[in-house]
Amino acid sequence: MAGDESFQATNTPFDLSKYEGPYEAGRIRILESLIPTVSGGCAVDIGCGPGFYSRLLASRGFAPTSIDTDAANLASAGRFAAETCQGDAVEVLARLPAAKFQLALALEIIEHMPKSRGETLLERVHRLLARGGTLLLSTPNRYSLEGLVGYYVTEKLRGKAVWKAWDPTHVHIYTSFEIVRTLRAHGFAIRSATGYDYKLPLPGGLGRLPLGPSHTRLFPLNRFAFNLVFECVKP
């Protein structure tokens, strides 16, 4: 897919300019609506990139701990973070204090791991959140229109290219129902699930075709969008 409303691959090192496109701007609005304003509080930004969301967390009153594998990303995120940690996210989380954080962001990261590693990620996020703490997680959806065609038809039925949801570094792309089961199995209650779609560019400059509502929490429509944003709580 191409066009300025299409999802862009999120490979490190990140560039802040990637957050300026219409697709990212729409997803940012969803996440902005889910991040509260607080008077003091600890948050962890897992796979922080250049610190776009670390900056947002700081502006909302949180003291962010920003985690990334890339030193340049952390140098950028460090302008907004209370602490930066370089290394594999799953390993770094194991070293952070238990029950310290009120908010954790895991945005576009779990699909970059084997499923077993993603489950370990969720276990460690659950450990570090305080009771009542929130996890915001976003990930592509194999049950989206594009996923159904790309994975089940092109890859599985026709035996052609592996569907990677536009990013060759993706390892395991969850279905919406699978990620819901996985979150619940690791102790999270789901407060909201927002499905987010893009507009498909039409040939010949004829405009763009919405693949579904730009965003919705209405079940079951929210389970068939290209991208999923979950607001979860540790009871």
Phi, psi at residue 107, to the nearest 5°? -100, 120
**Pairing mode of beta strands 83-86, 215-216:** unpaired
Strand, coil or helix: 164: coil
The per-residue b/e assignment along 130-167, b for 16 or more CB within 10 angstroms, e otherwise, is: eeebbbbbbbbbbbbebbeebbeeebeeeeeeebbbbb
Cα gap 231→221, rounded to integer Å: 17
Q: Before 213, cis peptide (omega within 30)? A: no
pLDDT of residue 207: 46
Question: Quick one: which of 63, 51, 64 has its CA closest to 12?
Answer: 51
- The neighbouring-strand residues paired with 45 are 66, 105
Q: How many CB atoms lie within 10 A of CB 210?
A: 10
Amino acid at 182: T
Beta-strand relationship, 63-68 and 42-46: parallel
19, 11 contact by CB (below 8 A)? no
- pLDDT value of residue 11: 42
> Quick one: how far is CA 2 from the chain centroid?
21
Residue bearing tokens 């594999």:
88
Q: Model-level pTM?
A: 0.89
Residue 98, exposed/middle/buried by CB under 10 A (0-12, 13-18, 19+)?
exposed
Copy the structure tokens of residue 191. Answer: 């407060």
Give the domains, in start order, of the chain with CATH numbers. Answer: 40-150+175-233 (3.40.50.150)
**Residue 229 · residue 28 · CB < 8 Å:** no
Neighbour tally for 118: CB within 10 Å = 23
Distance between start and end Cα atoms, the chain:
40
Note down pLDDT in tens along the chain; length 235 residues.
Answer: 333 333 333 444 455 667 777 778 888 999 999 999 999 999 999 999 999 999 999 999 999 999 999 999 999 999 999 999 999 999 999 999 999 999 999 999 999 999 999 999 999 999 999 999 999 999 999 999 889 988 888 888 888 889 999 899 999 999 999 999 999 999 999 999 999 987 554 455 544 455 555 889 999 999 999 999 999 999 9
